[in-house]
A and B are shown apart, each in its own frame.
Chain A
């Protein structure tokens, strides 16, 4: 009896130790990322600092988002004042003060740079859980900028995904996505994201300052900063209306 208890205790200790050494599974890590970064609603005022071709441009915007369906962005810096985007029912519309018209952005245009930044329209308005779109594989762990990080490889579930493969570096301690790389089907690295600053909002960690590089553009980077941020607060549906876009 005594021997049996000893064996059970030893087995339990070994299992616990093995579990502690192997760390979380790939799915758990991705769920943690989604838990941090996926929101039900978001409101912020932000800045995009674009550095390209030796020049620096600052774009200021106000952003409202609800789930993955509704997004409204209004640019407020003098050069772009009045340019507004509305994502509604899977469609992206733009209102431009130059044309004084609402136009539908579709197809190849969605993959183009937004406001000359390193982000595409798709990049900037996407808010769907990664776990719903990708199959994760844990590739190991490595230090990144002095932080211990898990390396997670994601393979797209659908062929229509803009980036068929992603690689994420996830902070072991905070769960922040410290860095991610976006790949094409050919394996070519298209974009690179680096976290500059994340904040704890409620019980989650949320990136508020980050850098994106479109590797197909020479000497180009965009720093994205959220100056004021509110997550999961109620937003009136009228914000995401064509009327608001045309106003």
Chain B
């Protein structure tokens, strides 16, 4: 008991010495704190950026690309970059029955048929577009299409009903000089490889803040598109939405059982972009670690300088009976104090920056000059403000910086008191 108390008292004394030592050269201490703070700030900010971006990609993938669980046919999958319409899902069954069966699965909110097909435009500066056949009324019950404002994204007019109508993206309308009320003559190719000419009227202009859609997509009623493409009541893809998106893996199996062979069933987590971003996490950790280590060089340098400066003091401490471990502990704790202060400052500033970024999104389209079209991410990026990211950034900063100073601190242990006092 006494030994334990004595040891605790000694650690407290060493901590006090280390704490007092950091104020012996205020300018140097400030410099070290700033270096660590910058590194921790960078790590927290970048982590908030990446998590925000990953969340954005997942949101786009779930809303537009796959739903929570996506069903296509094997034939479609082989040629999917062309959006072929001649390979519908559940070809030998009534679509209504399949949808009803999928929606009866526990945890499923909706099973939405969608068709995407290429269209060539007449008399337009925009030559090609994507027809997006959806039941907008049902879609809006499940999805929030504008990823920034969290609403239906309608800027003008309305979404198409069942008639000879369409809605176009804001960028598409701007580039082609079209307005609500204008006809939009186009050609598409049916499931029977027939050229189908169509002249729907624009009834609405939308902005989903997803560049690909705002620039390329023409929303049309799915029933009309089915008729034009010769699909009757069949669909190209089914988007299944669950009550909980994290339940998708379980649902995927159930959906596959309902659909039977000849179908490709995947959940949103299987998306190439989502999988890639998740794999990239390892790379980010390495990048952050390297950045933190580089920032820690300043502390390493400080510790080495301090040891050199206080070499006589170290000799004195040794002569007065301090053990090597205690001398190392003084220098190590000094470095830990610098790391903690720096990490704390970095965490506060990084936290504030990410909190602001989570309320006021960054316009990625402006930043990238509209080059985000091929990337399934919203045009605006919300940084992720999360206590977990702050805690992670703080602990990571302290741990890496402190660990880096352990070896230089050990240098103090190998200084002979007599040799040190003679200098």
Which A residues form the contact surface with B (CB < 8 A)?
50, 52-55, 57, 59, 75, 79-80, 83, 94, 96, 98-99, 101, 103-106, 108-109, 112-117
Min CB gap B91→A, angstroms: 13
Of B123, B189, B195, the most chain A CB neighbours within 10 A belong to B195
Query: Which residue of the partner chain A has the closest CB to B200?
Result: A99
* Contact among B193, B199, B230 for A99, CB-based, below 8 A: B199
* Contact A103-B120, Cβ < 8 Å, known A79-B190, A83-B195, A115-B194: no
Would B122 and A96 count as touching, CB distance under 8 A? Answer: no
Q: Any chain A CB within 8 A of the CB of B185?
A: yes
* Contact A106-B199, Cβ < 8 Å, known A53-B79, A116-B193: no
* Contact A98-B196, Cβ < 8 Å, known A55-B86, A103-B185, A116-B189: yes
Instruction: State the main secondary structure of chain B at its contact with A.
Output: loop
Known: A53-B75, A98-B196, A116-B193. 6 other contacts (CB 8 A): A53-B79, A57-B193, A79-B192, A94-B195, A104-B122, A116-B195
Would B122 and A109 count as touching, CB distance under 8 A? Answer: yes
* A112 to B118 alpha-carbon distance, docked (Å): 13
Which B residues form the contact surface with A (CB < 8 A)?
75, 79, 84, 86, 120, 122-123, 127, 185, 187, 189-190, 192-199, 228, 230
Min CB gap B225→A, angstroms: 11
* Contact A106-B194, Cβ < 8 Å, known A53-B79, A98-B228, A101-B199: no
* Contact among A54, A98, A106, A114 for B197, CB-based, below 8 A: A98
* Contact among A54, A104, A109, A117 for B120, CB-based, below 8 A: A109
Query: Which residue of the partner chain A has the closest CB to B193?
Result: A116
Neighbouring B residues of A109 by C-beta, 8 Å: 120, 122, 187
* A84 to B192 alpha-carbon distance, docked (Å): 17
22 contacts between A and B (CB under 8 A): A53-B75, A55-B86, A59-B194, A79-B192, A79-B194, A80-B192, A80-B194, A96-B196, A98-B196, A99-B198, A101-B197, A101-B199, A103-B122, A103-B199, A105-B122, A106-B122, A108-B120, A109-B120, A112-B187, A113-B189, A115-B193, A117-B193
* A94 to B186 alpha-carbon distance, docked (Å): 12
* Contact A50-B193, Cβ < 8 Å, known A79-B230, A104-B122: yes
* A117 to B189 alpha-carbon distance, docked (Å): 11
Min CB gap B115→A, angstroms: 16
Neighbouring A residues of B189 by C-beta, 8 Å: 113, 116
Min CB gap A189→B, angstroms: 21
Neighbouring B residues of A113 by C-beta, 8 Å: 189
Would A106 and B123 count as touching, CB distance under 8 A? Answer: yes
Query: Which residue of the partner chain A has the closest CB to B122?
Result: A103
Query: Which residue of the partner chain A has the closest CB to B128?
Result: A108
Query: Which residue of the partner chain B has the closest CB to A112?
Result: B120
Neighbouring A residues of B86 by C-beta, 8 Å: 53, 55
- Report the 7 A-B pairs with minimum CB-CB distance, sorted nearest first: A116-B193, A96-B197, A79-B192, A57-B193, A80-B194, A99-B199, A79-B194
Would A115 and B127 count as touching, CB distance under 8 A? Answer: no
Min CB gap B122→A, angstroms: 6
Min CB gap A87→B, angstroms: 15
Min CB gap B165→A, angstroms: 13
* A75 to B195 alpha-carbon distance, docked (Å): 11
Neighbouring B residues of A105 by C-beta, 8 Å: 122
Would B84 and A53 count as touching, CB distance under 8 A? Answer: yes
Min CB gap B148→A, angstroms: 34
* A172 to B189 alpha-carbon distance, docked (Å): 41
Would A116 and B187 count as touching, CB distance under 8 A? Answer: no
Query: Which residue of the partner chain A has the closest CB to B196?
Result: A98
* A83 to B198 alpha-carbon distance, docked (Å): 12
Min CB gap A32→B, angstroms: 35
Min CB gap A114→B, angstroms: 7
* Contact A114-B195, Cβ < 8 Å, known A53-B86, A106-B122, A109-B122: yes
* A83 to B193 alpha-carbon distance, docked (Å): 13
* A106 to B185 alpha-carbon distance, docked (Å): 12
Min CB gap B125→A, angstroms: 10
Neighbouring A residues of B185 by C-beta, 8 Å: 99, 101, 103
